[in-house]
Structure 1
Amino acid sequence: MEHVLTVPKTKSAPTRSFVDKLQNWLPKIVLAPTMLVTVVCVYGYVFWTAALSLTNSRFLPSFNFAGLVQYEKLMENDRWVTSITNLGIFGLLFMFIVIVLGVGLAIFLDQNIRQEGAIRTIYLYPMALSFIVTGTAWKWILNPGLGIEKMVRDWGFTEFEFNWLVNSEMSVYTLVIAAVWQSSGFVMAMFLAGLRGIDSSIIKAAQIDGASLPSIYFKIILPCLRPVFFSAVIITSHIAIKSFDLVTALTAGGPGYSSDLPALFMYAHSFTRGQIGLGAASAMMMLAGILAILVPYLYSELREKK
């Protein structure tokens, strides 16, 4: 029987060229809708908001150019000044406490303690809740007629007072309490991951040289975590600037507007008071605050890589 040698069929050049082009374009085609939505719904609306902030828009958008009038009104608005002051108090206290607490918890868990997984889960649990749930829960806890004050008085301490929630001078600090409880576990996880990524030989060498454990952490380990510190500052500052749901659920900006923050100010003037131009100007000021923190950080990171 004669054996017939069969030659496998090969694709023609035009077919191969079409397949190659399709393979090159397929990822772009798949990503195109997402990119389009991102460009339009994020960057497009940022530019739209910036344009509205330069008009005299009220209940409906207006295209009459008004220059920086809305920004001048914003700086003369007592509620805006109060919200910026509150943001400074809330943001600085929140960032400082949550980073210090996160570092402390991470160092505690880094000692190879028993039941580390369970304890880490307990610390991280608040991050599973939304700020609406957190604000509502702490509203009950801090309510003088329902929470801590009532519980302590029922124990017999009738003179005890903890009325920060209804005290205009202290209400902003209740936001700090709730936000720290919500976010400290997340910051702890960031630093714990950083600690676990440090080469153990560095620590062993320091121990051989006679360095104490506190000295090792403060002089060797923590300086190595500078990128984690920067990331924690960026994330927590972003949370502080855009805080809206926590304020709405916990204090609603009250009493009066003593615990108001820029995000709540922007919402109130844009959607409930018919001052779209003023609300857009406040939104752009919030964006400027975020960029003032983010741009120097990105510049320093890119400069170091170069």
Structure 2
Amino acid sequence: MSSTSTAGAPRHGALRRTPSGLLQDWLPRIVVAPSLVVSLVFVYGFMLWTFVLSLTNSRMLPSYDFIGFAQYARLMENERWWVASTNLVVFGGLFVALCLFLGVVLAILLDQRIRQEGALRTIYLYPMALSFIVTGVVWKWLLNPSLGIEAMVQGWGFETFSFDWLVDPNMAIYTLVIAAVWQASGFVMALFLAGLRGVDDSILKAAQLDGASLPRIYWRVVMPCLRPVLFSAVMILAHIAIKSFDLVMALTGGGPGYATDLPATFMYTHTFSRAQIGLGSASAMLMLGGVLAILIPYLYCELRGRKHG
């Protein structure tokens, strides 16, 4: 009996925790709890509240007279919303594609260990340090027909030269693409350059020994290894495109007319500023749906890769 009780004593003692041990276990949870509560309330709580408002007839102030999905129906019948949605497809598609192309090309060039690599990397990455407001104002000056590129080239003697996209309703959306690509392509370059530097050199040497050319090595060997970087870049760029507001307001103001409206500018100028809280909440929820449509497939591929990895 004594041996049994003696053998059980350590196990019983192991269950006892000292106050300092309990504090050590609970301290991380106590530290994280405030930020978790703030996130739940001010992020997810407000998202839920926005969805509730989108089901009401709220105007200047919140109202809880529920009308179902009538605000979404109004939104679908709004011509300006469809212009903004079409612009988002054009702007977002070109923005993501051009940033990826330029970013990959610049990263591959810098990966050749060229001279002054640090200076060039800083030059390409510097625009990302600017706010979209600054970018929009600068490109507004450059693209202004009476002040910018058009006036400069005409001053050189090419009087027939014309570059008036900023005031052309059919071309103004592409000025947003130019400014956004100029700012974000350096960031994509940095992502891919970090990925390229992480590729095992032995793989590249083996491909060179097999007689593969440098372009073929990058296309067939290196780029498949950078698939996670590609997914991350696409997700970040698409998120930037969907929520773009400050660049539009600084560069075109949504004009000419509302030719360069995006969902974010539509939500501000056509709904909330006109006391249409319910309609604005509906447009906000559709924007959230666009973000989730990009985020969920990315997370699915990421988690599936880890599961099978």
TM class, shorter-length:
over 0.9
Tell me the residue number matched to 1:217: 218
| Structure 1 outlier segments of 4+, above 4 Å | none
| 1:228 aligned partner, one-letter code | V
| 2:166 aligned partner, one-letter code | L
Tell me the residue number matched to 2:32: 31
User: Shift of residue 99 of structure 1?
Assistant: 0.1
Q: Say yes or no: does 1:278 pair with 2:279.
A: yes
Q: Counterparts of 1:1-306 in structure 2 under 5 Å? A: 17-306=18-307
| Unaligned stretches of 5+ residues in structure 2 | 1-13
**Aligned-partner Cα distance in 1 for 2:52–2:245:** 23
SS of 2:286 mapped into structure 1? helix
| TM value normalised by structure 1 | 0.94
Question: How many residues in Structure 1 have an aligned counterpart in Structure 2?
Answer: 293
**Aligned-partner Cα distance in 2 for 1:143–1:255:** 13
**Aligned-partner Cα distance in 2 for 1:188–1:50:** 37
User: Shift of residue 303 of structure 1?
Assistant: 1.4
Q: Deviations for 1:124-172, whole angstroms, at most 9, x for unmatched residues?
A: 0001100000001100110011100010011111111101111100000
User: Shift of residue 16 of structure 1?
Assistant: 6.8
**Aligned-partner Cα distance in 1 for 2:296–2:101:** 24
Q: Percent identity?
A: 68
**Aligned-partner Cα distance in 1 for 2:190–2:271:** 37
User: Shift of residue 42 of structure 1?
Assistant: 0.4
| 2:190 aligned partner, one-letter code | A
Q: Deviations for 1:260-284, whole angstroms, at most 9, x for unmatched residues?
A: 0000011123431000000000000
**Aligned-partner Cα distance in 1 for 2:57–2:17:** 59
| 2:302 aligned partner, one-letter code | E
**Aligned-partner Cα distance in 2 for 1:26–1:216:** 50
User: Shift of residue 114 of structure 1?
Assistant: 0.4
**Aligned-partner Cα distance in 1 for 2:28–2:268:** 38
User: Shift of residue 106 of structure 1?
Assistant: 0.2
**8 Å contact kept, 1:269–1:276:** no
User: Shift of residue 32 of structure 1?
Assistant: 1.8
Q: Deviations for 1:37-84, whole angstroms, at most 9, x for unmatched residues?
A: 111110010000000000011111010111010000001001100000
| 2:304 aligned partner, one-letter code | R
| Unaligned stretches of 5+ residues in structure 1 | 1-12
Q: Deviations for 1:183-239, whole angstroms, at most 9, x for unmatched residues?
A: 000000000011000000011011111111111111111111111111111010000
| 1:274 aligned partner, one-letter code | A
**Aligned-partner Cα distance in 2 for 1:270–1:82:** 15
**Aligned-partner Cα distance in 2 for 1:93–1:291:** 20
**8 Å contact kept, 1:269–1:278:** no
